[in-house]
């Protein structure tokens, strides 16, 4: 598939996208040999690949070896680990790893970043009042009884 716009035509070509069935495999910029910085290759996982990547993108290569993202997934298909390798000109290669942990409902519990920082996420009760305001009315428009602390629904309190 080729995309041609006035901007790509000014570079003498079009953006070429290759697909394997309905999965994007590569994107090549105008007049590219496949090794340019903005060219991207996608690799998809398969059953038993050790990354839980069946049908998911497990590797993204940009500019051949300029930037490579290796991805791993948890049992529910969430991105659990991303290892990013960057070839910095005149500095050499750099590698960064980010890890994420989820609960069985898919909610993030913790994220670990390349500098060693870990962020723990707190889960709140669904019915917890996380807002602080002084209005006697709740979101449903019912008035809060100051004696009982409950909302009055006409025939009952809740």
pLDDT in tens, 28-63: 888 777 678 889 999 999 998 888 888 999 999 998
Same domain, 73 and 132: no
Average pLDDT, the chain: 81
Q: What is the mean pLDDT of residues 106-122?
A: 84
Same domain, 99 and 49: yes
Same domain, 48 and 98: yes
How does residue 130 score in pLDDT terms, banded at 50, 70 and 90?
very low
Higher pLDDT among residues 74 and 129, named by residue: 74
Other beta carbons within 10 Å of 136:
10
Same domain, 116 and 132: no
DSSP label of 132: -
Number of domains into which the chain is organized: 2
Residue 133: is its pLDDT beyond 50? no
pTM: 0.68
Same domain, 37 and 102: yes
Give me the CATH number covering residue 53: 2.40.128
Same domain, 95 and 143: no
Identify the pLDDT of residue 132: 42
Q: Which of 102, 84, 106, 108 is nearest to 94 (CA)?
A: 84
- List the domain range (segments joined by +) for residue 135: 127-158
How does residue 155 score in pLDDT terms, banded at 50, 70 and 90?
low
Q: What is the mean pLDDT of residues 60-87?
A: 91
Identify the pLDDT of residue 29: 85
Same domain, 37 and 55: yes
In a domain, 8, yes or no: no
Same domain, 58 and 96: yes
Specify whether the CB–CB gap between 60 and 69 falls below 8 A. Answer: yes
Same domain, 105 and 133: no
List beta partners, residue 54.
Answer: 45
Around 46, how many Cα atoms within 13 Å sit in the side-chain half-sphere? Answer: 1
What is the length of the chain? 158
Same domain, 40 and 115: yes
DSSP label of 12: T
Same domain, 59 and 108: yes
Same domain, 87 and 106: yes
């Amino acid at each position: 598939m080729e995309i041609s716009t006035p901007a790509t035509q000014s570079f003498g070509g079009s953006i070429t996208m290759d697909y394997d069935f309905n999965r994007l495999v590569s994107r090549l910029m105008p007049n590219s040999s496949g090794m340019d910085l903005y060219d991207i290759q996608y690799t998809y996982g398969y059953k038993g690949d050790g990354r839980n990547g069946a049908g998911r993108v497990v590797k993204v290569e940009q500019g051949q070896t300029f930037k490579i993202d290796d991805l791993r997934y948890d049992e529910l298909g969430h991105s659990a680990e991303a290892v990013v390798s960057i070839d910095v000109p005149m500095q050499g290669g750099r590698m960064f790893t980010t890890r994420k942990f989820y609960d069985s409902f898919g909610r993030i519990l913790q994220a670990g970043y390349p500098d060693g920082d870990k962020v723990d996420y707190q889960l709140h009760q669904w019915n917890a009042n996380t807002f602080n305001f002084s209005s006697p009315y709740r979101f449903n428009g019912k008035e809060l009884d100051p004696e009982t602390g409950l909302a009055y629904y006409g025939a009952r309190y809740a």
